[in-house]
Homo-oligomer: A and B are copies of this chain.
Amino acid sequence: MILQINFKSGMPIYLQVVDQIKAAAASGALRPGEVLPSIRPLAEELRVNRNTVAKAYSELESLGVIETLPGRGCFLKGNHSALRKEVRRKLLIVEIDQAIVQAHHLQVPRQEFLELVNERMDVLEDKRHANVNHKED
């Protein structure tokens, strides 16, 4: 687990942690059941206050991404998402629209955009498999 915090992005630190851990989970860098770095050491490593990391973790818990067992640590949950299809759709649309709007702003044509989406899905999937295989060694 390597997290990169950008202190000047304007994006709250705790949200950066949340996003990166979500990404790590999706990419297979973290696997279900695996323990996350504990709050205090991680806070030191990121040179951030303990409460900030704690807030990120508590956000992740309420999102159903991790489970925290007080006194023992925080663990990645497997197969989350107890949400209605309708709600999932809305959450996903938010992200998709941001990407499409960015593509529009950058003048990337539709076809090229779709190719890039496919490419990234392949890349991220490969990464996931690589992570899984690496861990099974």
Contact = CB atoms under 8 A, between A and B. Distances in A.
A99 B98 contact: yes
Contacts of A101: 2-4, 20, 22-23, 26-27, 124
B11 A106 contact: no
Contacts of A82: 83-84, 86-87
Tell me if A's interface is mostly helix, strand, loop or mixed.
helix
Given A87-B82, A96-B99, A104 B26 contact: yes
A130 interface: no
Interface residues of A, number: 62
A95 B102 contact: yes
Nearest to A18: B10
B114 A92 contact: no
Given A89-B116, A96-B116, A102-B91, A107 B27 contact: yes
10 contacts: A3-B101, A10-B11, A20-B105, A22-B102, A29-B104, A62-B62, A92-B113, A96-B120, A101-B124, A110-B121
A120 B104 contact: no
